[in-house]
Structure 1
């Protein structure tokens, strides 16, 4: 009955929802592999130390956790008057909004849309410069403000970054032009107001909620949907499992336990944390657990990932996450990636330390394709429901 009431409420609110169509492109990793530059790049980032930065309040926090190498879902926004269009990654693992600047001379900017301040009647320069560091690279941006539009949402005087220098690898290979961060304001470099803050302050959302649906069989034209202002009951089935955010930085929740097949691992007996990150494609595992998981799944480490026998996929066990007391299984058809007959696990080692010392997992798009995910800014919680 409770689920029925919620579904009816969602239907009543459907008129106020804003849906952004997400496209699915070839990932940066796939493009870099085809260009023959992936191996050298992976060796470089493996041995680079984790960077830190200071927020505007003087607190030191980890760099945004997003690793864009496998991210390939993006949608359209516009900035300026008249509007200048950009494809952006809607990223719950970071908080800054940026697009390339016309002044960017890096090769990575050559094949992307670039913002032209002189062609916008509403642009206001700021002059401040920041370095934005991600799990897959760093770039320099100069701040400005202008009108942000996403479908029928309009935010005036929205602060954003204009990249003046981008690393050729990996951003040259990205299908998206920039990034719209959707994590908490406390993660924003320089204390810059986030796009979501602008939407809320200017009453542009029907509810302080947004949600993601990733198609299990994505195409370039339709990879899924970002729903701003609520949830769409047509995109999920069954009840919603809610988990409170444990730290208002990333969208981070408690992972109660983790099971492979019928065997509960006890990996999280002392507590685990999981970050829900739309900007990370893979599922990431704490380093101390990776060997045991690979052994349980019969995987072998190679230079191109953790390989498994494609003929054995149907016999592999489900991986089950227990969140909010609910079992959320992930089946091999979801966590095994088949690339022209070469099968690898959609898994990598978590590349940043946990803020509180508990083992840290990242639930990326491999997981999110199976679960419609709701980000509730009013109650600081994340909801999961099986995708329709």
Structure 2
């Protein structure tokens, strides 16, 4: 996803009552000589506890430092999205959790285009906690632009509750591609520098309102996703059950996107030298493919034996097992992408899961985008406090 750019500002006249709600926390004191069952019965939680025992037994292995454990749905083996709610009472939306942008927006009843009407739309008049801001912006993404007006309301993700969160209510969404997407909106998780100036991102407010046990979040994408299960995003923690081996940490080189350094790129055993002067890579859960700097694309395809067609960059499916493994040198380690990961078999048509970009990094370094083709291979950890990204081989 790319940087949102502000255009015009105007106000919508709304007279809405704002109601601030507080949450209570149940604390169960334990007294010597009394059973846990007795204490839980007195506090009115025994029945719900026993019902919970009939649920998924694997949930006991969830990491203790994870504040929200959000399941993700897979769409066309490309985008991954989960459910959030906005407002009081809550209105539910499916959003793309996107580390390549910073704004939260959802369709709204202000929008009358078919793309909005085919999705869940936020109705501010139905929320007692909504406040109008009235500033409008155009948000630009790699797959299209849309205009939004800002408001604020309570946002809930699992057990995380963020009050007074600024977000965009769509005013206009073009049919291509928004009409055809299974998710409703986008939740940006990049640095505030690419967000709308003067307003906190959702991640910022999570931290300021003490909703994250740790200033960290992580993604797991299943290598064999189904529509019902694509993976997990963990807000506030890391789940060691979802990866194997050690975590490789690499620093963020520019605190705007989750941008890291790439020291070398190899096709099979041969280093290309393309990053001899340094490359940058944006770790982007909102980009489907692996994006290669445009100046290298033709050579890359030639070495893989791929041909361009209406179906993308195709190869003979029978040749996939003998194709070379790709290697990214990051922080002194070699992160591999075997052909079984970067070649996508779509009903017998085998596509190399890449695309090109002609945008360079800030200082002219070749820019890669490590999208979902890469992230299905590696569990990714985004450490806000230490400005670093971690990779470990997905389980």
Quote the residue 1:334 is aligned against.
341
Paired residues for 1:67-86 under 5 Å: 71-86=78-93
Q: Aligned partners of 2:76 and 2:245: how far apart in 1?
A: 32
Q: Aligned partners of 1:168 and 1:261: how far apart in 2?
A: 41
Q: Aligned partners of 1:135 and 1:292: how far apart in 2?
A: 24
* Residue number among 195, 216, 239 corresponding to 2:202 in the alignment: 195
Q: Is the counterpart of residue 170 in structure 1 residue 183 in structure 2?
A: no
Quote the residue 2:75 is aligned against.
25
Q: Is the counterpart of residue 309 in structure 1 residue 359 in structure 2?
A: no
CA contact (8 A) 2:89 2:127 kept: yes
Paired residues for 1:366-381 under 5 Å: 366-381=373-388
Quote the residue 1:144 is aligned against.
151
Paired residues for 1:34-53 under 5 Å: none
Q: Aligned partners of 1:380 and 1:189: how far apart in 2?
A: 21
Deviation per residue, 1:224-265 (Å, 9 max, x gap): 000110100000010111110001111000001111111011
Structure 1 spans left out of the alignment, 5+ residues? 1-10, 28-70
Q: Is the counterpart of residue 123 in structure 1 residue 104 in structure 2?
A: no
Q: Give the 3-state SS of the residue equivalent to 1:128 in structure 2.
A: strand
Determine which structure has more spread, i.e. the larger CA radius of gyration.
Answer: 2
Query: How much does 1:15 deviate?
Result: 4.9
Quote the residue 1:353 is aligned against.
360
Alpha carbons of 1:88 and 1:261: their partners in 2 closer, same or farther (altered >3 Å)? same
CA contact (8 A) 1:130 1:190 kept: no
Q: Aligned partners of 1:12 and 1:155: how far apart in 2?
A: 22
Q: Is the counterpart of residue 153 in structure 1 residue 203 in structure 2?
A: no
Query: How much does 1:17 deviate?
Result: 3.4
Quote the residue 1:184 is aligned against.
191
CA contact (8 A) 1:26 1:175 kept: no
Q: Give the 3-state SS of the residue equivalent to 2:334 in structure 1.
A: strand
Quote the residue 2:270 is aligned against.
263
Deviation per residue, 1:144-175 (Å, 9 max, x gap): 00000000000000000000100110110111
Q: Aligned partners of 2:303 and 2:290: how far apart in 1?
A: 16
Alpha carbons of 1:15 and 1:231: their partners in 2 closer, same or farther (altered >3 Å)? closer
Quote the residue 1:14 is aligned against.
64
Deviation per residue, 1:269-303 (Å, 9 max, x gap): 01100000000010000011111111111111123
Quote the residue 1:52 is aligned against.
none
Deviation per residue, 1:173-224 (Å, 9 max, x gap): 1110000000000000334310000100000001000000000010111100
Structure having the larger proportion of residues in helix: 1
Deviation per residue, 1:51-84 (Å, 9 max, x gap): xxxxxxxxxxxxxxxxxxxx42100000000000
Deviation per residue, 1:21-69 (Å, 9 max, x gap): 0001237xxxxxxxxxxxxxxxxxxxxxxxxxxxxxxxxxxxxxxxxxx
RMSD: 1.2
Q: Aligned partners of 1:207 and 1:184: how far apart in 2?
A: 17
Query: How much does 1:16 deviate?
Result: 3.9
CA contact (8 A) 2:219 2:234 kept: yes
Deviates more, 1:161-170 or 1:347-356: 347-356
Q: Is the counterpart of residue 101 in structure 1 residue 108 in structure 2?
A: yes
Q: Aligned partners of 1:186 and 1:26: how far apart in 2?
A: 31
